[in-house]
Structure 1
Amino acid sequence: MKRRTLVGGIAAAAAAATAHTTPTAAAAPGPSPRRIGMSDVRGLQERFADIIASDHRHGGQLGIEQRAAALADEALNLQRSGNATQRVRANLYACAASFRSSAMWAAIDGRRYADAQAHMREAQALAEMSGDQAIKFRIWSHAGSMYRHMGRPADALAANDVARNLPITRRDPMFASLGLARQAAIHGASHEPGNTRRTFERAREAMERSDQADYRPVWMTAFYDQAELDSLALSAHLALGDYPAAEFHAHRCLAGLRPHMVRSRAITTTRLAHAQLAQGDADAATATAMKVPAGAATQHARVSRMLQEFGAALRATAPGSPTVQTWNEHTAAWRTRA
């Protein structure tokens, strides 16, 4: 799409230059192009904050992905609608990259990986044109998460290393901490317990060095804190088969999650149920899994798949038990409400 846009822009510029230099092309001057300014950028940034809020409430929805992609196109169209300084244009590219990265994340969260990779390529190009280090970090860090969910830990580590090697991680310990925490989760998926524990410790230390500055982008401040660090540790320890540690981090994550993190609470609750079931406590695990809201259980791809896996594990652990019957009745009610 961008190649067509660039080609179209070049063709339009060539036509304009030809009209200007041809004597017979004289015509009455038209209205001056509008001036694009930082107020336009701020309007887009406010809409980006709305996308972030929708993601934390619902997560993975196709509607969020489509809306974010449309807003990325809108930011690019604004580039062509008038005159702007280089600073404003760089910010518009950053806005477009931000929206495209949210489309990418929604596709990852919804397990639509082919779409996620298409959004990723678009977002990476836009981020390069913007020069914005924070959004470059977000895109490459998301790429690492995407490959981890796809079961490609080597690619996940390589992508996450691109994020971790950006200068912003040396300037801001919070970015360094997030890069390390996601690296630790990848080590967990690769079944490397020593590297997992050491890297999480480094992530925790980096977080402790950071301040509560308000200059960080909204996508960072909206989600990354101790609760998210525990969420990533929960994922890693589940992958490692260290179920007591996974349960510990799950409880701590749930205690620290901010109210707007609805999607994260559903994911963490589901993972806690898995950790409890793996320790042989089918009753407690089932009670935990039943706390997942019906909307997340039926409409969020990752949560739905984890609950299906939970049900299969429960039936294998306690076949024919009253607990299995309770779970089957509960999930049937979910499907009825869906």
Structure 2
Amino acid sequence: MHNWLTGQTRWPPVKIRLALTAVFDCTPEELGFVPTGRTRSTTEVNVRRRDFIAAAGGTAAAVLTSTAAGPRRIGITDVQQLQARFAEVVASDHRHGGRLSIETRAAQLADEALALQEHGTATQRIRAQLYASAASFMSSAMWAAIDGRRFDAALQHHQKAASLAAMSGDSGIQFRIWSHAGSLYRHLSRPGDALAANDVARNLPIARRDPLFASLGHARHAAIHGLTGDTNAVRRSLGHAQDALDRAHPAATRPLWITAFYDQSELHSLALAAHLAAGNWEDAEAHAHRSVALRRGAMQRSHAITTVRLAHAQLSQGALEPAVATAMSVPAEVSTHPRVTGMLTVFGTKLTDRAAGSGPARTWAEYAHETWRTSA
């Protein structure tokens, strides 16, 4: 039996398809799965998502219970249940992102996956998948810490995640971890380290084999180049990213974590970040509009980040009223996300520096006060 989450199964069972549809707000086909010729036409809406979640719960606790016959043998079912929980972590991150609770839960699940190594017997292949599961959870803990601006914790998570991924031999999860590291160093304004970390991801076998991974690597490289102000490097990397995305086969089997977020909209979002950092305001605004138009409905936080970046691009071009209107369009419940809050705070500071006392500045000050007072 193959691992559906890492892309080795082209069409998961009905309960898994229904759960994925519920948590990601898109069809299994949009996540990269491909129906088989044997797929039945039974009505899936009658299969309840809670059945799937209940089946995934309590895996490690059950496995850790030894019997008189000795340690329990760990099999593919145990791995699949861990991976189902990973899908829940990814979905929670897409909805909320950056929360300490997500980081803590992901780290706990990594420990549970590692506990299976100590308290059960398994084949070499299953052990590799257990390490891959633990690395997956740690990569989510790392990203939640990055997203929540807890950079010291993110650096610690990266060390553990990279070690686990190396033991798993899974280049897909290794790509995720080192690509996250590149983003971490970018947020820390360390472009040299960011480029080096992202190069590790881009040189992995999966990036050479699958154009979708190559595209993401190039797009994140462009965002890093934006920090250095190298517009030529930004455009060159974005060109490579678009070429690779155009070559990526939509029906190829891939890990869920990449198909759940990386698409043309995300490429435009990274292009927006790159041009915004490089001071190319018009290019940044153009990519922002394209990203917003293509964004999937479940990606609320990503949509909010793109919207705030659009407001920054408009403000930098002197379009004060449109910029304020754009910033005010971010839903109040999303504006409390650490990254979004920080970006909106910087927006307000730039607006005040540029046009203190103006109508748009007063409108924004009143709106920000009321919004954050209400949500506090």
**Shared fold, TM over 0.5:** yes
> Structure 2, unaligned stretches of length 5 or more?
1-66
- Which residue of 320, 341, 358 corresponds with 1:304? 341
CA RMSD of aligned residues (A): 1.1
Residue-by-residue CA offset, 1:276-327 (whole Å, 9 max, x unaligned): 11111111100000011222222x2211111111101111222112222211
Could you tell me how far apart the structure 2 residues matched to 1:93 and 1:212 are?
Answer: 28
Counterpart for residue 333 of structure 2 = 295
Could you tell me how far apart the structure 2 residues matched to 1:77 and 1:334 are?
Answer: 45
Counterpart for residue 141 of structure 1 = 179
Counterpart for residue 334 of structure 1 = 371
Counterpart for residue 279 of structure 2 = 241
| 2:322 is the alignment partner of 1:313 | no
Counterpart for residue 269 of structure 1 = 307
Matches within 5 A, 1:183-198: 183-198=221-236
Counterpart for residue 86 of structure 1 = 124
Counterpart for residue 360 of structure 2 = 323
**Number of paired residues?**
309
Structure whose residues are more often helix by fraction:
1
Q: Which amino acid aligns with 2:280?
A: D
- Which residue of 165, 173, 182 corresponds with 1:127? 165
Matches within 5 A, 1:25-64: 30-64=68-102
> Structure 1, unaligned stretches of length 5 or more?
1-28
Could you tell me how far apart the structure 2 residues matched to 1:214 and 1:109 are?
Answer: 29
Matches within 5 A, 1:102-251: 102-251=140-289
Q: Secondary structure at the match of 2:335?
A: helix
Could you tell me how far apart the structure 2 residues matched to 1:168 and 1:35 are?
Answer: 31
Q: Which amino acid aligns with 2:311?
A: A
Moved more, 30-39 or 185-194: 30-39
TM-score w.r.t. length of structure 2: 0.81
Q: Which amino acid aligns with 2:150?
A: R
Shift, 1:78, TM fit: 1.6
Q: How much identity, in percent, do the aligned residues show?
A: 61
Q: Secondary structure at the match of 2:68?
A: coil
Could you tell me how far apart the structure 2 residues matched to 1:250 and 1:30 are?
Answer: 61
Q: Secondary structure at the match of 1:295?
A: coil
Shift, 1:231, TM fit: 0.5
Q: Which amino acid aligns with 1:136?
A: Q
Could you tell me how far apart the structure 1 residues matched to 2:105 and 2:252 are?
Answer: 27
Could you tell me how far apart the structure 2 residues matched to 1:318 and 1:188 are?
Answer: 26
Residue-by-residue CA offset, 1:118-163 (whole Å, 9 max, x unaligned): 0000001100110000000110110001001100000000000111
Could you tell me how far apart the structure 2 residues matched to 1:214 and 1:333 are?
Answer: 48
Counterpart for residue 23 of structure 1 = none
Residue-by-residue CA offset, 1:150-204 (whole Å, 9 max, x unaligned): 0000000000011111111111111111111111111111110001101100110
Could you tell me how far apart the structure 1 residues matched to 2:184 and 2:173 are?
Answer: 16
Moved more, 327-336 or 107-116: 327-336
Q: Secondary structure at the match of 2:80?
A: helix
Q: Secondary structure at the match of 1:80?
A: helix
Could you tell me how far apart the structure 1 residues matched to 2:264 and 2:172 are?
Answer: 20
Shift, 1:336, TM fit: 2.1
Could you tell me how far apart the structure 2 residues matched to 1:307 and 1:30 are?
Answer: 59
TM-score w.r.t. length of structure 1: 0.89
Residue-by-residue CA offset, 1:15-44 (whole Å, 9 max, x unaligned): xxxxxxxxxxxxxx9323211111011111
Could you tell me how far apart the structure 2 residues matched to 1:316 and 1:170 are?
Answer: 46
Residue-by-residue CA offset, 1:32-72 (whole Å, 9 max, x unaligned): 32111110111111111111111111111111101110110
Q: Which amino acid aligns with 1:206?
A: A
Moved more, 325-334 or 109-118: 325-334
Q: Secondary structure at the match of 1:187?
A: helix
Could you tell me how far apart the structure 2 residues matched to 1:95 and 1:214 are?
Answer: 21
Counterpart for residue 60 of structure 2 = none
Bigger radius of gyration: 1
| 2:96 is the alignment partner of 1:96 | no
